[in-house]
Chain A
Amino acid sequence: MIKLILCIVLISLIAYVGYGIERFYRIRYLVAKEYNEFLTFVQRETCFLKTTILEMIEKYNFTSKELKQLLVSTIDNSFLEIDKKLDDKLVFEVKSFLKEFCTCDYSNVKSILLNANEKSKILLNSAENEKIQKGELGRKLTILVGIGLLIVLI
């Protein structure tokens, strides 16, 4: 009986770790994807309506709260609230983009957005690769390890 309970606890624990690893990389991918989509929105809003960045952040329907938090905290200079799950490269890229974007004049907006868009595509590709290679692999591997341990215990 004790052995059975131990097996269930172990499997749950390992499944949780596997799910956690996958979730970690999935969030990174979703944030990178949303950043890319947000840049397209920014391009449309700035080039015609000259909407301010604060209005755009307010207006855009974010699905990931992590990206919104990152954008807001970068503008407010309150770096403490940045989510630890986010990729350092993405955080650096968002900060650099905002630093340039907030101080540029109208004639430079297009080129800054074009540059940011290119970089975000690279980040998105790398996040997608990480999600497949590390996230899904991690999940599968932990399941296998769990099954292995189960067999050993039984």
Chain B
Amino acid sequence: MLKELLPINIYNILTDYVNLSTICELRIRVDKNLSLKTYERKFIVDYQPTKNDLEYIIQIASRHSLYAYEDDIKKGFIRYKGIRIGLIGEGVTNDMRLLTIKNFTTLVIRLPHQIVGIADRFNLLKDDFQNTLVISPPYGGKTTLIRDIARILSYHYDTLIIDEREEIWSNSFDFGPNVEVFTGCPKEMIVEGIIRSTSPQIIVLDELFQKSDLSVLGEIKRCGIGIVASVHGNGIDESKKFSPELLSYFNLIITLSNKPKVGSIKSVIRL
């Protein structure tokens, strides 16, 4: 995927540096050294990407059709075959509304990985499912964990993944036979219709962020459907402080940390 997405010069430099399959994140800044993160460490590469390099990546990622990704761009990212590209540039606003982002200066390319088996220790979820929330700071491994929980559950339950930002699902990932995926649409816009039309037993949600996500959780729970979700945070106490209502929807809270390494389990609490 990286070969299609990156300009050939950057691709060649990266292949000289690391094994491409170990890259988790790439930061491409105009006229600043390229940086990349693997599972183990961070590298600063001796190459300064140009504006043309960024434009090339954006053109490829948007399939040469920026207009088709305007809603995503407003949210600060573009999706490309399961890769999420964060966009940093100059915002265009009108009446306190963000119309679009232009003059991109930095791209943050996050490469998803499926690590099959990391959720095996939560295997009991398949027999005695409990609504599960994964709390972690950014780059803590919550999406990778949720992806594996979804994989395990999809062998035993009718599992629906509502993947607003196409972070959990990719065609290349391994999932069970009972999985449906709805991508590219805010949760609150489709939850009612999709519950009525697909009757899932469990719904897996990507990152909860907005207040409206709480009403989505309420709707799902009211319908008697199980929930697996993730949220940014440092721990259960902090999450309780900022949003006490959030925790009331879940019975099992898994907290992750990126120290000592990405995906470290800090705590598992049953409420």
Whether, in the assembled complex, A1 has its beta carbon less than 8 Å from a beta carbon of chain B, the answer is no
- Name which residue of chain B comes closest to A108, CB basis: B67
- Name which residue of chain A comes closest to B59, CB basis: A102
- Chain B interface, number of residues (Cβ within 8 angstroms): 12
> CA–CA, A105 to B72, complex, Å?
12
Candidates B64, B70, B73, B99; contact of A53 at CB < 8 Å? B64
Most buried by B among A101, A103, A108: A103
> CA–CA, A135 to B188, complex, Å?
60
Known contacts A102-B59, A105-B100; decide if A46 and B64 are in contact (CB<8 Å).
no
Judging by beta carbons under 8 Å apart, are B63 and A50 in contact? no
Interfacial chain B residues near A109, Cβ < 8 Å: 67
Judging by beta carbons under 8 Å apart, are B68 and A104 in contact? no
> CA–CA, A109 to B63, complex, Å?
15
Interface residues of B in 39-89 (CB under 8 A from A): 59, 62-68, 70, 73
Candidates B65, B66, B70, B73; contact of A54 at CB < 8 Å? B65
Q: Give, as a whole number of angstroms, the nearest-CB distance from B82 to chain A.
A: 17
- Name which residue of chain A comes closest to B58, CB basis: A103
- Name which residue of chain B comes closest to A55, CB basis: B63
Interfacial chain B residues near A101, Cβ < 8 Å: 65, 67
Interfacial chain A residues near B68, Cβ < 8 Å: 46, 50-52, 106
Main secondary structure on A side of the interface with B: helix
Per-position binary interface string of chain A over residues 20-46, scored 1 when its CB falls under 8 Å from any chain B CB and 0 otherwise:
000000000000000000000000001
Q: Give, as a whole number of angstroms, the nearest-CB distance from B78 to chain A.
A: 12
Interfacial chain B residues near A55, Cβ < 8 Å: 63
Candidates A52, A107, A108; contact of B65 at CB < 8 Å? A52
Per-position binary interface string of chain B over residues 172-194, scored 1 when its CB falls under 8 Å from any chain A CB and 0 otherwise:
00000000000000000000000
Per-position binary interface string of chain A over residues 71-106, scored 1 when its CB falls under 8 Å from any chain B CB and 0 otherwise:
000010000000000000000000000100111111
Q: Give, as a whole number of angstroms, the nearest-CB distance from A99 to chain B.
A: 10
Q: Give, as a whole number of angstroms, the nearest-CB distance from B66 to chain A.
A: 6
> CA–CA, A54 to B66, complex, Å?
12
- Name which residue of chain B comes closest to A56, CB basis: B65
Judging by beta carbons under 8 Å apart, are A106 and B67 in contact? yes
Judging by beta carbons under 8 Å apart, are B63 and A54 in contact? yes
- Name which residue of chain A comes closest to B65, CB basis: A52
Judging by beta carbons under 8 Å apart, are A106 and B70 in contact? yes
Residues of A in contact with B, size category: 10 to 19
- Name which residue of chain B comes closest to A76, CB basis: B64
Judging by beta carbons under 8 Å apart, are B63 and A53 in contact? yes
Per-position binary interface string of chain B over residues 76-109, scored 1 when its CB falls under 8 Å from any chain A CB and 0 otherwise:
0000000000000000000000011000000000
Judging by beta carbons under 8 Å apart, are A52 and B100 in contact? no
Candidates B59, B63, B70; contact of A105 at CB < 8 Å? B70
Interfacial chain A residues near B63, Cβ < 8 Å: 52-55
Judging by beta carbons under 8 Å apart, are B66 and A104 in contact? yes
Judging by beta carbons under 8 Å apart, are B66 and A105 in contact? yes
Candidates A54, A75, A98, A104; contact of B67 at CB < 8 Å? A104
- Name which residue of chain A comes closest to B92, CB basis: A105
Most buried by A among B59, B68, B73: B68
Q: Give, as a whole number of angstroms, the nearest-CB distance from A44 to chain B.
A: 14
> CA–CA, A54 to B61, complex, Å?
12
Judging by beta carbons under 8 Å apart, are B64 and A102 in contact? yes
Interfacial chain A residues near B67, Cβ < 8 Å: 46, 50, 101, 104-106, 108-109
> CA–CA, A108 to B99, complex, Å?
12
CB pairs A–B below 8 angstroms (7 shown) = A50-B65, A51-B68, A53-B65, A54-B63, A55-B63, A102-B64, A105-B100
B residues near A (Cβ < 8 Å) are 59, 62-68, 70, 73, 99-100
A residues near B (Cβ < 8 Å) are 46, 50-55, 75, 98, 101-109
